[in-house]
Every structure is written in structure tokens, then in C-alpha cells.
Structure 1
């Protein structure tokens, strides 16, 4: 055997060894997140990301945390516990399921439970007054509390808006065709009138008993110093009570013609995007219009077609095909999602899956996490771990496969819900029945760039959206 042949053979074996080793390392990185325990816990101080400047963009601030201004200035506010948040989340999900599965709902009007987790600051009126509004992709009507309150309004951080001090405010007549928009957006049929002024009256009752009612009106809405919308339809609430925290109301980003997205169609082309931050001590963004930021990032933003939810004109539907964990596809039928359908919702915290699908995901997750000590379940979460005394944790990556063959890998913070270092839980829960609609919640959306191209009929997902 020649020396040259031996050298070639040894070289070939060495290259194969390196290739195999590299492949194994790549496979590990593709299958798992290495997560520091400290990154799962919110800091006591706020961290603003220093990403590229976006033109029509607002800071997305977690409602409860060091970045929020809703708990400052000496105004009393009791922060909700993790148990409170998940309990309210359960009520929201129950109401969504009731709304979408029954033709005989209770005789109340309104779309959703008012338990938004994130808010943005917009300007209202001329001169403008800054207001902190919870933004919600499942709500249509934008509303805020207004002076004078016919009955006691709930406590909010910002000064309550006074329409009498704005030169651009006007009420809508109850005989106007604009008033009839309230029928499908709030459930009021027919719209009601104030008897003395003949002004159009709106009413929103949410699934948790929270409500807002008042004048349906038009006003100047300022998004940024260079972007304002004149004659914007909104609710000016004179009677408001409920679990809205210290926010001044709701910014509705649903699909109905009365929503912000549809009212600003000519300006922003029915396109908006957001990134929900990893913890309550980090700020994200809500951006309107097709900015250069994700045009440039189109190679990393993957788009899937929006599906139609026949039972609602508010929600954004998704076509979920499958789920994988640690690069292994779960043994579930793709038809399991088509029977109940699926939506993406910024206001639901924990993703809800068909029970059979959740059981398959949970069992696979438990197998991957077997080396970590189990902790007791928490509220609706039944798979938790005690990670005290550890610096890092290895977490299996979870990916969703959507229509069009699009695979979206969740960020590390989209897999876990952290109560404390002694109770870190799988951030998914089961629906009551396989026929219930699947809800892709906001924990799973954390750190992703989520792009809604409503006019184009598609929704996109990209990594590292908050940077």
C-alpha cells in the first residue's frame, strides 16, 4: 500500500470525523436553547433596547413591571400575582371559546375580556393629551375614559381625557350611518342614543364583567410627532369600571372596519408589526406600516397565509399544521387543528392547544427535561421545575409548522412561564376539548417580530424582533 494512499485514507477518515463532530454540535444547537436562569426573571430596572429607528413606532411596555408608568406618581395600584394573571387568562379564553362556538351567547355586548398585558402611549385631541392604552389584536373599538364621568370612572395613571378642551372632538349622531358600525363591532343591535343630544352611544361589556360605555365620537389621534389621524372613530367613555389596571383604555387592532388597522388603511396599508419583550423589565415595539426594518429582514421573516375564522370578523386566524420539539415532530394529526381552527391573540397569555396535542407536547417536554427536579404545578400549568441554585438550563426548542410550509421556532422565552426560580413551567395549557379553537398566545410570541400584512392576507414571524 503506497504512502500516498495511506495518507489519503487517514485524511479522509479525519475529515469524516470532523464532519460528524460538527454535525453533532450543530444538531445540539438546533435542538436546544441554553438559557440563563437570570434572564428568565425580570430585573428591578427597565431596559430599553437600542434597535434601528422605526418611523411610525411606539414603545410596547409590559403593564406590570419597572418599565411601566402605570404604577408610579404615588397612585395606589396593587400588582396582580402570577396566579391572578393566569386566572384572568383562563376567563379570557373561556369567553373567546364561548363567542366562537355558540350561536346563543348571553345577552351582553362586547368582544373580549379586558386583561391586556401590554400598553402603548398615543396622543389624543388638539392640543394632544398623552394616554396609555392597552393594545389588543382581538378587540376592534378603540376607547378611552372621558370627562365628565357620569358615574365614578376607574383610577388611571394619565389625566382623564376632557373632550371639551379639544378643538378637534365631535360626537357621532345616532342617525348617522357611522353609528351602525357599532352593531358588529360591539354587539349592540340597534345602537342606542343619548335622548337629549341624540348622540350615538357605544357600550362594551367584557367577559370578566369589566365594561365601558359612552359617546361614539371622532377625534384626532397622534401616533408619533409626524403621524396623526384626523377624524378617528373611537369611544369616549363616561361610565367605565373593571380590570383595566391603570391604563386609560384600549387600542383595538382587530380586523373589523372600525379597528385602528382598518381606519388607517390608506396611511399604513393595513400593515403593523410588534415585538413583545422577554420579561416585564424590557420594552418592545408596535410599528405601523411597511417599514424598512422588516423589508430588509424579509429573508428572516417567514410568512404564512391568514386564515378566515367564519365565526368572527375580529380575530386573526392561523393554519397550524404541526408542532415539533427538539427537532422531532409530534405524532399528531394535522386535522386536529383544522377541526377547531386557530387564532393568534396578543391578549391571551398562555397558548391553548387541543388536549391530545398538549398531552403529546407535555410528555415529550418532560422526557427532555427529565434531569431537572420537578416542582408542583401552578394554576393552569401542570409541568414545572425547580431550578434553584442553577446558572443555566437546557430547554428543548419548540417549533410550530404553519400553512404554506412555514416553520417558526419559538424564542427561549416563548417556551417557559417563570413564577420564580423554584417554579419554572412549560407555558402551554390544554383546551377543554379538541374541538375548541387553538389560541397562539403572547408568551409564545415573545421576542419574535410578528408582522400582520392584513391587506396581503398573511402574517410573518421573524427572530430577535425586539432588537
Structure 2
């Protein structure tokens, strides 16, 4: 009888190992109570080979990591962790300054610098880890690689004849070679859609100066924009930059996904509807997508898109609570009173310090089986996974005022420097009065849908790898 029990035990153990081995081939495996991820540590690192599972559609653009193997213009340059995180913090600092300034202007407080409240507000671009897409401009079509940014409205690319241009991989756009190109006259009502504008020889001009002193200046123009393979948007208005400098890397420009009058979404709404969606890939060796217009999706939970006309940002959500390991943290909803914005250009999620400390402490408590690693500022919760093939990680969820819950995918929990330094990809603001930001790392693999017409934002799982 003892022998039979021993054999039975061995069989159970073998079966358990086989099942666990099978689950580790997937990126994650959740327990039935939705409190844990089981992660194969190898899945935290990208491959050197591109693996694309996104099919091209007429108005769907392929999203790639700027420096990954799937990039249409791959380079050998790899930014350091210090560069990435410093640039990310610079963007966050700028967002906080601009929001604070705009709110002070609204309530009549005096400021040394007056900032407009909407279109063209530049709070930083060129993030080393940002996502890019390929678009077509002009007739015949010329392809360009541009960064996507939900925090910007005006789209722009570098153009000939360029007085001052930074180096980019593609040839500059030459308006003389496009049969559908035209300048926007100063007398046009379209010129007034720019908050910061000037005129030269009857032609409308734009100027954007970013907080890090990067800048773009040139003509406000129209030409045909091609999305995906064949879908076109005639008379698309954008900036044709002839004087540009700064930390833009080698991208050709930017596509603005804000809500104001000159953004791509506003200009395309009559054709596609006031809606767009995207999915950021989990690793730089995968691809995601940006879809303009209605998207047929399922299993999506929507929450309200909060209106805050006193700030230069568009996509606010009403975050009121957090869960770690399935447990609701004891945080007063008033801690989040400064607001929370969904931003494609910020990497690391920033929370009010009161909320972040609660989240961090609970996460550390549940992760105490793993050895800690040195901090990677501003990230202060890091682990050494060198002796582990798989790790068990607590789930993290955002809870909104209407009860909608956003469960962060396992790939959205960590910033991975190396196997011996894997850090929780959340950080605290310096004060609870500063705006919270849900960054793009926490949005990985999710279908994120911006239904502007109905003022709601949706989140669905399994949008891309």
C-alpha cells in the first residue's frame, strides 16, 4: 500500500510538472482567483528577430518600437536605461508644469509665462522607447516614420528646403514633388486653428518649442495622407518643418492624436468617426497597431473620458482605487483628486505618493521571496531573477469611479534592465497634488479604444502580443 501511495505521489508530481512546464511556454498564467501571474523570465526579454502577428488593414497602421527589430528603419543605437528613464522623467516634469500653469491661468493667478490651454501645447517628444508608425504623405506617396503621441495635436514632418534640420534616416519631404501639396493661406480660417501662428508672404506658419528647447517651425500645409496600404485622407493639414532641432532621434516627425482641431483624429472624424484605438506590443520584437475610426472589438470595458477644459491634456480618466494581488488597497479616493491622464508618450506610470507607497509596500510584501536589486531611479522596487526560470507575481489593477477595472498585463508590471535588475514600472509623484499618469508600459497588449464622440475610453485584453 505504501508503494502504491508513493507511486501515486510521483505520478501527481510528474503531472504537475508537465502542466507547469506547459503553462510556462505562455507569457503568463493567471490563477483562478485573479491574484497572481506566473511569468517565464525569458519572456521578459525581446528577441533579436521581428515576429509580427498584426495584419495590415486599410486604415490600420503597424506600431513598432523605435529601436526594435520590427522598426521600418532599424538602427544599431540602443539608449541606456539612464537615458530612457531621465527622458521619461523630463516629460513627466513638463506635463506637471504645463498643467499647473494652465490651471493657474484659468483661476486668474499671475504668471511670468502665459501658456495657451489647448492646441500645440508641447510637453516633450522623442522619448527613446516611444512607438512609431509609417505613414504616406503626398502624391505620389512618400513614406515617413513618425512618433505617435496622444498628448499632441499638430502633426509635422521635416521638409525641403530645410534651413536647419536634424539628421533623419529618410529623405526629407519635398513639396515640389507632390501634385496634391498646397500651403494654408494666412487669410484661411484653418490658419486660426493654430494657437501659435505667424504669417510670411501670405502663408500660414506654425512654431512649437518644447520644454527641452527642441523645436520645429515651418509652414502649415495640406497634402494627401495615406494610412495603411491604400486608404487616403485628402487635404490633411500638418506642419512642414524647415527649421527643426532637438532630441527627436532620427524619426521624420510626429502624428498628433489629441482631440483639438488640427489633430489627425479631428481631421479624420468626418470620414472615420471620432474614434481611434491602439495596442502597444509587449516586447520590441513584436508589433502592435494604430487604427483610425471604428474598430470591431469584443470583451472591452469602458470608463468615462473625463472633461478637464482647464488643462492642455485630453484623455483623463477618473481613477479612484488600486488593487494588488486582487486586494483593494485602503486609499481614499480623494488622494486621486488631481486627476489621472492616459498618455502614450510616458513610459512609467506615476501615482500620487500616498497611493504609490501603498501599492509598492503591498507589492514588496507579496514579492519577499525574491532577492531585491539596486534601485534604478525613479524606480525603487527592483528584483534579481537570475536564479529563477519562472516567477510568481501579484496582479495590479486600476479601479475607476464607475467600477470599471483595468487589469494590467504581466508584461506591463516591470521595467527590465537586465535579469538581475527587474523593476516595478510604477513611481510616485513628489506630491499628491500632481497629476497621475498611466504610462504606455502599463498599456501593453491591451486594446485601448478612444471613443471621443461618446466620451469614453475602453480597455480590452489580448489586443496584440
2:278 aligned partner = 274
2:83 aligned partner = 84
Could you say what secondary structure the match of 2:441 adopts?
Answer: helix
- 1: CA distance between counterparts of 2:112 and 2:231? 39
1:6 aligned partner = none
Unpaired segments of 5 or more residues in structure 1?
Answer: 1-24
TM-score normalised by length of structure 1: 0.87
**TM-fit CA distance, 1:225:** 3.1
- 1: CA distance between counterparts of 2:205 and 2:31? 59
- 2: CA distance between counterparts of 1:105 and 1:261? 33
- 1: CA distance between counterparts of 2:435 and 2:417? 27
Residue 193 (1) aligns with residue 199 (2): yes
**TM-fit CA distance, 1:30:** 1.2
1:176 aligned partner = 188
Residue 98 (1) aligns with residue 97 (2): yes
* 148 and 53 in structure 1: CA distance in 2 versus 1, 3 angstrom threshold: closer
Query: Structure 2 residue aligned with 1:464, among 458, 462, 465?
Result: 462
Task: Map 1:303-314 onto structure 2 (within 5 A).
Answer: 303-314=302-313
**TM-fit CA distance, 1:29:** 5.2
**TM-fit CA distance, 1:303:** 0.3
2:139 aligned partner = 126
Residue 445 (1) aligns with residue 443 (2): yes
1:144 aligned partner = 157
Instruction: State whether residues 340 and 435 of structure 1, in contact with CA within 8 Å, keep that contact through their aligned partners in structure 2.
Output: yes
Could you say what secondary structure the match of 2:205 adopts?
Answer: strand
Unpaired segments of 5 or more residues in structure 2?
Answer: 1-28, 106-110
- 1: CA distance between counterparts of 2:114 and 2:397? 40
Residue 161 (1) aligns with residue 167 (2): no
Name the structure where helix makes up a greater proportion of residues. Answer: 1
Instruction: State whether residues 313 and 341 of structure 2, in contact with CA within 8 Å, keep that contact through their aligned partners in structure 1.
Output: no
* 193 and 328 in structure 1: CA distance in 2 versus 1, 3 angstrom threshold: same
Which deviates more, 107-116 or 281-290? 107-116
* 52 and 155 in structure 1: CA distance in 2 versus 1, 3 angstrom threshold: closer
Residue 207 (1) aligns with residue 211 (2): yes
**TM-fit CA distance, 1:54:** 4.2
Instruction: State whether residues 30 and 36 of structure 2, in contact with CA within 8 Å, keep that contact through their aligned partners in structure 1.
Output: no
Q: How many residues align?
A: 423
**TM-fit CA distance, 1:27:** 5.7
Residue 57 (1) aligns with residue 75 (2): no
- 2: CA distance between counterparts of 1:53 and 1:68? 15
Residue 287 (1) aligns with residue 299 (2): no
- 2: CA distance between counterparts of 1:264 and 1:325? 39
Instruction: State whether residues 72 and 134 of structure 2, in contact with CA within 8 Å, keep that contact through their aligned partners in structure 1.
Output: no
1:10 aligned partner = none
| Aligned-CA RMSD value | 1.7
1:19 aligned partner = none
Instruction: State whether residues 270 and 454 of structure 1, in contact with CA within 8 Å, keep that contact through their aligned partners in structure 2.
Output: yes
Instruction: State whether residues 324 and 330 of structure 1, in contact with CA within 8 Å, keep that contact through their aligned partners in structure 2.
Output: yes
2:261 aligned partner = 257
- 2: CA distance between counterparts of 1:285 and 1:249? 18
2:323 aligned partner = 324
- 2: CA distance between counterparts of 1:69 and 1:427? 27
- 2: CA distance between counterparts of 1:100 and 1:353? 16
- 2: CA distance between counterparts of 1:170 and 1:380? 46
Instruction: State whether residues 218 and 231 of structure 1, in contact with CA within 8 Å, keep that contact through their aligned partners in structure 2.
Output: yes
